[in-house]
Amino acid sequence: MTVTGAYFDAATAAPLHPVARQALLAALEDGWADPNRLYTQARRARQLLDAARAVTADILGVRPDELSFTASGTAAAHAAVLGGLAGRHRAGRTFVHSAIEHSAVLHAAQRHVAAGGAAASVPVDRLGRLDPDAWAAAVAAPGVGLAALISASHEVGTVQPVAAAAEACAAAGVPLYVDAAQSVGRTPVPEGWSLLSASAHKWGGPPGVGVLVVRKGTRWESPYPADERESGRTPGVLDLPAVVAAAAALRAVTADAAAEATRLRALVDRVRTTVAATVPDVEVVGHPTDRLPHLVTFSCLYVDGEALLHALDRRGFAVSSGSSCTASTLRPSHVLEAMGVLSHGNVRVSLHRDTTEAEVDRFLAELPQVVADLRAEAGAAGL
Amino acid sequence: MTGPTEVLDCLGQRCPLPVIALARRLPELPVGAVLRVLADDPAAAVDIPAWCRMRGQEFVGRVSPTSYDVRRER
């Protein structure tokens, strides 16, 4: 199926990279066997898996035996949090995390707390950047088992001070888990972490492939029933063709990452400045410069987020929103809440390699009228 | 401190209706007046202070889980 209209939700799922499509089709032919068996077909599958792991590990700058594929980015995040905490349960049972982690991390934290552990949330500023002093104090407190920091906010794009956070963790002897789902394939992730997770469909791989890295020397204990696959870190047989496709896509996007980041950053900057100039009463959120190259978020006063999404969809623009009316929980995004910025009328635009300048310009040309119409319908024009 | 000048009942209203109601009513009150907004949509806790910041009005505080005081500054 060809995607029609302008797809601006790469931060949820980037369109499948053409290289991934080719690799997927090829691997469906000869990558269907279980790589753990001892016959010809299995050896071929093993070769494909080993190659995919080697490529992915090389790009992430880790050893292949430190990297496991998982069934999703969410599964990798759950395994990082719960396995990292289980491995350190004698050292401490408190899980320190930023207030703007992905819900997968926060849900794992809830599970940890329900099982008798503790969690401590570290605030961010108005721009969505971690409070470094609060972080240092939180990880230095007694009884901390693991700390988690997202590499960059998946909702507002603000890059987090991972290197500084890692230093504070090292000083306190606490392992750091970095959720790098929005960064891998786009921008380098700073050193200093012990655990990392990523998600292939954020970089142009297929859905259903996550990556979990556990650095050597990190205590990690599986939160699942025993299973020997993927160094004992992933239960069940992997979707090997999808893994092969994910690795191929990662190699392709990494090769183009610097040029693509420059191109998309210019488009994101255009969205930020144009929206602020042409849409009245709009709050463009996130750090103005220290941000992901492909993602921009803004909130429109007096506008219902769900109505805005539908109005944009009718005009052929696919975007997402952190407004409560667009969430099943009816709560506003915890990220916008933690930043203390307007949560209704929220739009996240996230771009990818197929995004054209013309698409962005058409969006910027049509948005002011869409917002004005919705305000008029709500009786909020001129307030 | 004295109580609010007026109470605006937005209970049961979903975002952004309480903020729209606030924006409509506050300018009709004299400068210095305090409007108490009753709202049980969780988004109000974020959006009422954010509106005050964007509009240069004073967010006095959340006086109960479902009530927020706003003072007209200008």
Compute the radius of gyration of chain B from its Cα atoms.
11
Q: B43 vs A324: CB contact, 8 Å cut-off?
A: yes
The C-alpha angle with vertex A351 and arms to A350 and A357, in degrees rounded to 5, equals 130
Question: A382 pLDDT band (50/70/90 cuts)?
Answer: confident
Range A156-194 burial, b when 16+ CB lie within 10 A, else e? bbbbbbbebbbebbeebebbbbbbbbbbbbbbebbebbb
**pTM value surpassing 0.90:** yes
The residue in chain B having the minimum alpha-carbon distance to the alpha carbon of residue A345 is B16
The complex's ipTM?
Answer: 0.94
Chain B residues with CB under 8 Å of A341 CB are 46, 50
Q: How far, in Å, CA of A80 to CA of A233, rounded? A: 10
Backbone angles phi, psi at A148, to 5 degrees: -130, 130
The C-alpha angle with vertex A337 and arms to A295 and B68, in degrees rounded to 5, equals 145
Per-residue pLDDT, A328: 63
Average pLDDT of chain A, as a whole number: 95
Between A65-69, A202-206, A224-228, B19-23, the lowest mean confidence (pLDDT) is in A224-228
**How many CB atoms are located within 10 Å of the residue A39 CB?**
9
**How many CB atoms are located within 10 Å of the residue A28 CB?**
14
**How many CB atoms are located within 10 Å of the residue A316 CB?**
14
Chain A residues with CB under 8 Å of B14 CB are 304, 324-325, 330
What is the DSSP secondary structure assignment for residue A188, as one 8-state letter?
Answer: P
Q: Does B48 touch chain A (CB under 8 A)?
A: no
Backbone angles phi, psi at A87, to 5 degrees: -65, -20
Q: Which CATH architecture has domain A6-14+257-378?
A: Alpha-Beta Complex (3.90)
pLDDT digits (tens, 9 = 90+) for A134-181: 999 999 999 999 999 999 999 999 999 999 999 999 999 999 999 999
Query: What type of residue is B36?
Result: R
Q: How far, in Å, CA of A205 to CA of A200, rounded? A: 5
- The residue ranges of every structural domain in chain A are 6-14+257-378, 18-251
Q: Per-residue DSSP letters for A4-59?
A: PSEE-BTTT-PPPPHHHHHHHHHHHHH--S-TTSSSHHHHHHHHHHHHHHHHHHHH
CATH number at B6-72: 3.30.110.40
pLDDT digits (tens, 9 = 90+) for A222-249: 999 998 888 889 999 999 999 999 999 9
Single out the residue of A180, A192, A218 nearest to residue A85, CA to CA: A218
- Tokens matching residue A42: 């299995």
Alpha helices per DSSP H over A61-155: 73-87, 103-114, 132-140
pLDDT digits (tens, 9 = 90+) for A324-365: 766 666 688 999 999 999 999 999 999 999 999 999 999 999
| B 19-38 residues with CB < 8 A to A | 19-20, 23-24
Which of A125, A298, A301 would best serve as a mutation to test chain B binding (most B beta carbons within 10 A)?
A: A301
Query: What type of residue is B19?
Result: V
Per-residue pLDDT, B39: 97
Q: A301 vs B54: CB contact, 8 Å cut-off?
A: yes
Per-residue pLDDT, A1: 44
Q: Which CATH architecture has domain A18-251?
A: 3-Layer(aba) Sandwich (3.40)
